[in-house]
């Protein structure tokens, strides 16, 4: 019976280690955080900024010039429709207090 050559055994192990290392490196990348305005910019299509709101705020009015808003209220996130843009200001009301608002507008990208 013939013994396998070391190179024949080592090459597949190195390939498996390399693929495993790449996969674990990708898995280690940080997850996007919905509270980070950059998460909502979609590669530069939108420019987003985060605003704090006073305590016990339950309504928010989105100006028609904005593409959309992301509103964190209670433990939930609300994302307005893009169809709301250019249809006039929109007021959103919630039963839980608004924690912050991310406003996003179109860029020229």
pTM above 0.85, yes or no: no
Q: Which domain holds residue 98?
A: 37-106
Q: Indicate whether 26 belongs to any domain.
A: no
Q: How far apart are CA 79 and CA 92, in angstroms?
A: 11
User: Do the domain assignments include residue 14?
Assistant: no
pLDDT tens profile 37-63: 999 999 889 999 999 999 999 999 998
Q: For residues 71 and 50, give the distance between their C-alpha atoms in angstroms, rounded to a whole number.
A: 10
Is 70 among the domain residues?
Answer: yes
100 in a structural domain: yes
Average pLDDT score over residue span 94-103: 97
Higher pLDDT among residues 48 and 18, named by residue: 48
pLDDT for 80-94, tens place per residue? 988 665 677 899 999
User: In sequence order, which residues have a C-beta less than 8 Å from that of residue 22 and are 6 or more positions away?
Assistant: none
Q: How many domains does the chain have?
A: 1
């Amino acid at each position: 019976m013939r013994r396998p050559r070391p190179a024949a055994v080592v090459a597949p192990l190195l390939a498996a280690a390399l693929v495993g290392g790449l996969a674990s490196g990708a898995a280690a990348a940080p997850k996007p955080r919905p509270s980070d305005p950059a998460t909502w910019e979609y590669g530069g299509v939108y420019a987003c900024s985060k605003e704090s709101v006073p305590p016990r705020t339950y309504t928010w009015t989105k100006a028609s010039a904005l593409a959309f808003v992301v509103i964190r209220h209670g433990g939930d996130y609300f994302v307005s429709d893009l169809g709301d843009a250019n249809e006039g200001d929109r007021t959103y009301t919630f039963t839980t207090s608004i924690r912050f608002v991310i406003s996003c507008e179109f860029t020229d990208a």
